[in-house]
C-alpha cells in the first residue's frame, strides 16, 4: 500500500528524499548534477531554506525548512501591455505608451506553493533528462518522501547522515572527497545560499561541526534516517 504522507507545513523542518523509479539513474554525468542544482535554486529557494543536501547516482537527500507563509513571495505575473486584449485595443499604427510598473513590469500573482514547487523541480528535471538521453516516462518515485525534523538531536544526526551518505554507499572514503553535497560548502567561506551559519550554530562552532562528522556514529543511532 502506498505510503500516506502528511501535507507539507509552513515553518517546519523536513528531511526530503527521493530516488529514481525502479532504481533508475538520476545523475549520469557532472552536467546533470549541475542542472539539478540550478533548477533547485529556481524552484525551491523561493519556498525553503536549505541546511544540507547530497545528490547521489540514483537518489538524493535534502534538509530544509519550509518558509513561513509570510516569507514566501508571489509568482511573478506579467501585466498586459496596452493593446493586449486584456487591456483594451489600440490602433495598429499607434505606439503603445510606456507603462511604469513598480515591480519592474510584473504584478503580484498567486503565492508559491511549496509542494507544487518540488513537483515543478522534479518534472522540469525529468523533462531535461528525457530530452537529453532520449528516454520517456517518469524518472522519480512518487510521491517524494519527507520526514519532519522534531528535535535538535534529530537535526544534527540528519546533517551527518546526509553528508555521510557517499561514504556509506562506497563512493568515497571520506565525505570531504565528495563534490555533490553541502559538506564542503559548510566548511568553505565562499558565498552560498546554504544556511551555513545556522548549521554551524546547531553544532556551536565549525570545529564541533567537523568533530561531529569525524566521529564513529553507531548505526542504531541513525537507523531511522536510512532509506530501506
Binning pLDDT at 50, 70 and 90, where does residue 216 land? confident
106 is a domain residue: no
168 is a domain residue: yes
Cell numbers for 64, please give them: 530544509
Do residues 152 and 202 make contact, with C-beta atoms less than 8 angstroms apart? yes
What lies within 8 Å, CB to CB, of 147 at 6+ separation is: 14, 15, 225
**Residues 10-55 pLDDT 10s:** 999 999 999 999 999 999 999 999 999 999 999 999 999 999 999 9
The residue that leads in pLDDT, 67 or 100, is 67
Do residues 13 and 149 make contact, with C-beta atoms less than 8 angstroms apart? yes
Which range (70-84, 176-190, 194-208) has the least confidence?
70-84
pLDDT score for 225: 55
pTM over 0.85, yes/no: no
Q: What is the mean pLDDT of residues 90-105?
A: 40
pLDDT score for 73: 79
Residue for grid cell 505510503: 3
27 is a domain residue: yes
118 is a domain residue: yes
What is the number of domains present in the chain? 1
The CA-based angle 175-151-207, given to 5 degrees, is: 40
169 is a domain residue: yes
Residue 195's domain is classified under what CATH number?
A: 3.30.70.1290
CA dist 33 and 26 (Å) reads 9
pLDDT score for 162: 95
Using alpha carbons, select from 186, 146, 165, 177 the residue that is nearest to residue 57. Answer: 165
CA dist 168 and 180 (Å) reads 15
The residue that leads in pLDDT, 93 or 222, is 222
129 is a domain residue: yes
- What is the residue range of 170's domain? 12-71+112-217
CA dist 132 and 48 (Å) reads 29
54 is a domain residue: yes
The residue that leads in pLDDT, 85 or 143, is 143
pLDDT score for 78: 54
Cell numbers for 38, please give them: 540550478
Do residues 197 and 188 make contact, with C-beta atoms less than 8 angstroms apart? no
213 is a domain residue: yes
Amino acid at each position: 500500500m502506498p505510503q500516506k504522507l502528511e501535507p507539507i507545513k509552513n515553518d517546519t523542518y523536513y528531511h526530503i528524499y527521493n530516488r529514481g523509479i525502479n532504481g533508475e539513474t538520476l545523475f549520469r554525468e557532472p552536467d546533470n548534477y549541475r542542472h539539478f542544482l540550478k533548477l533547485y535554486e529556481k524552484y525551491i529557494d523561493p519556498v525553503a531554506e536549505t541546511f544540507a543536501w547530497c545528490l547521489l547516482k540514483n537518489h538524493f537527500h535534502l534538509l530544509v525548512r519550509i518558509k513561513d507563509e509570510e516569507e514566501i513571495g508571489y509568482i511573478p505575473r506579467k501585466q498586459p501591455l496596452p493593446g493586449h486584449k486584456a487591456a483594451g485595443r489600440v490602433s495598429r499604427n499607434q505606439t503603445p505608451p510606456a507603462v511604469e510598473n513598480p515591480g519592474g513590469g510584473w504584478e503580484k500573482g498567486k503565492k508559491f506553493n511549496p509542494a507544487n514547487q518540488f513537483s515543478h523541480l522534479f518534472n522540469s528535471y525529468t523533462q531535461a533528462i528525457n530530452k537529453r538521453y532520449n528516454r520517456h516516462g517518469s524518472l522519480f518515485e512518487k510521491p517524494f518522501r519527507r520526514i519532519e525534523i522534531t528535535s535538535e538531536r534529530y537535526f544534527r544526526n540528519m546533517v551527518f547522515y546526509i553528508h555521510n551518505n557517499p561514504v556509506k554507499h562506497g563512493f568515497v572514503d571520506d565525505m570531504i572527497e565528495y563534490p555533490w553535497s553541502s559538506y564542503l560548502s559548510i566548511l568553505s567561506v565562499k558565498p552560498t545560499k546554504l544556511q551555513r551559519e545556522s548549521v554551524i550554530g546547531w553544532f556551536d562552532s565549525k570545529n564541533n561541526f567537523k568533530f561531529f562528522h569525524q566521529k564513529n556514529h553507531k548505526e542504531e543511532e541513525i537507523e531511522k534516517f536510512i532509506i530501506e
